[in-house]
Homo-oligomer: A and B are copies of this chain.
Amino acid sequence: MIIQKSDNLRISTFDPENFSFGNTFVDHMVICEFENGKWGEPKIVPYGPLGFSPAMMGINYGQACFEGMKAYKDKDGDVFLFRPEKNFARINKSASRLAMPEVTEEMFMDGIKTLVDMERAWIPHGEGLSLYIRPLIFATEEILKARISEKYMFAVVATPAKSYYTEPVSVKIAEYYSRSANGGVGFAKAAGNYAAAFHPTRLAMEEGYDQIVWTDDSTHQYLEESGTMNVFVRINDTIYTPPISEKILDGVTRDSFIQLAQSLQMNVQVEPISVDVVMEAQKNGTLREMWGVGTAVVTTVFKSFGFQNEKYDLPELSDEDSYALTIKNKLTSIQSNLCEDPFGWRLKVEKNN
Contact = CB atoms under 8 A, between A and B. Distances in A.
Given A54-B153, A199-B96, A191 B60 contact: yes
Contacts of A184: 177-181, 196, 217
A99 B134 contact: no
Q: Chain B CB within 10 Å — which of A23, A63, A183 has the most? A: A183
A344 interface: no
Interface residues of A, number: 70
A212 to B, nearest CB: 11
Interface string A123-143: 000000000101010110111
B98 A195 contact: yes
A82 interface: no
A62 B64 contact: yes
Nearest to A161: B144
B22 A61 contact: no
A195 B51 contact: no
Contacts of A183: 174, 176-178, 200, 217
A58 interface: yes
Interface of A: 21-23, 25, 29, 31, 47-55, 58-64, 66, 96-99, 132, 134, 136, 138-139, 141-148, 153, 155, 157, 159, 174, 176-185, 190-196, 198-200, 202, 217-218, 228, 296
13 contacts: A23-B141, A49-B53, A54-B155, A59-B64, A61-B191, A61-B195, A61-B198, A62-B190, A174-B183, A179-B181, A183-B217, A185-B195, A191-B191
